[in-house]
Amino acid sequence: MQFIDTHAHIYSTKYDSDRDEVIARCIDYGVNKIYMPNIDVESIDPMLEAELKYPEVCIPMMGLHPCDVTKGFEQQLYVMEDWINKRPFVAVGEIGLDLYWDKTYYDQQKEALKIQISWAREKQLPIILHCRASLPETIALVKEELDENLTGIFHCFSGSEEQAREIIEMGFLLGIGGVATFKNGGMDKVLPKIGINHLVLETDGPFLAPVPHRGKRNSPEYIPIIAEKISELTDTSLENVAEVTNNNAARIFSYLKR
């Protein structure tokens, strides 16, 4: 059985001591594709090195994470726009809004998000949205920018059934990760009602490890644990979860070719 991790920072220094072993275990467990969201200018080189070392397994995106939007963020965007114009990427991400850590640069976060959405529209690429403590605000901004050429994934979805349906109605997918395994994560109430047709699997490694690894380093090799939990919550077979989420991932990341 094959799986796809649509969101993991496998280039992170957290994997420097055993990245080869982690990738080998991923392949053994059927996780044969790992999509890598970029964070900032400093993460570009290690991300592209991972792509070079693990071709067709580690696949890069390009974007500026909202937590890295600070004074002078335009210079980072300038560098990233140059990259996105000179070589292919499968998505614009990880982009979005974050009101959890620091609200100081919220206006700049919104500006950066709109600029990067314009890249996605121009290149016909999906967007990968970070929306921690900002899901209503992110939905509202995306609705303002929405047209028939804009699609993507709401990464690390942890909202309500109503918010899930709103996102699906916009033509976006829901990225489901380790939160689905948390006792108070809320997904036990949402996933049974919305089913699997608009989901993709993700880990967000090295963050947000699923139970029973919660609190430890997360890893793409844990994707089957997340898939099993989704299977349980939606009363569908693990094989069906794998097939549907793989097809969704393939569709969203081949958007440019449609």
Calculate helix-pair angle for 161-169, 187-194, nearest 10 degrees. Answer: 40
Instruction: Give residue 222's pLDDT band: very low, low, confident or very high (50, 70, 90).
Output: very high
**What is the reported pTM?**
0.97
SS3 percent helix, strand, coil of the chain, rounded to 5, is 50, 10, 40
Residue 200 parent element (H or E)? strand 199-201
Q: How far is CA 19 from the centre of its chain?
A: 20
Span 2-18, pLDDT tens digits: 999 999 999 999 999 99
- The total number of structural domains in the chain stands at 1
pLDDT, position 102 = 87
Q: Is the pLDDT of residue 257 over 70?
A: no
Residue 107 in marked binding region: no
Domain of residue 158, residue span: 3-257
pLDDT, position 151 = 97
Residue 162 parent element (H or E)? helix 161-169
Residue 213 in marked binding region: no
Instruction: Give residue 256's pLDDT band: very low, low, confident or very high (50, 70, 90).
Output: very low
Q: What percent of the chain has pLDDT over 90?
A: 97
Residue 130 in marked binding region: yes
CA-CA distance, 220 to 203, in Å (whole number)?
Answer: 6
CA-CA distance, 164 to 198, in Å (whole number)?
Answer: 9
Residue 7 in marked binding region: yes
Would you state the structure tokens that stand for residue 193, as one six-digit string? 């009602």
Span 172-221, pLDDT tens digits: 999 999 999 999 999 999 999 999 999 999 999 999 999 999 999 999 99
CA–CA distance from 189 to each of 60, 105, 185, 208, 224 (Å)? Answer: 33, 33, 9, 19, 21
Least confident span in 173-177, 222-226, 253-257: 253-257
Domain of 100: which CATH number?
A: 3.20.20.140
Q: Is the pLDDT of residue 107 over 50?
A: yes
Say how many CA atoms lie within 13 Å of 79 toward its Cβ.
14
Q: Is the pLDDT of residue 54 over 80?
A: yes
pLDDT, position 254 = 87
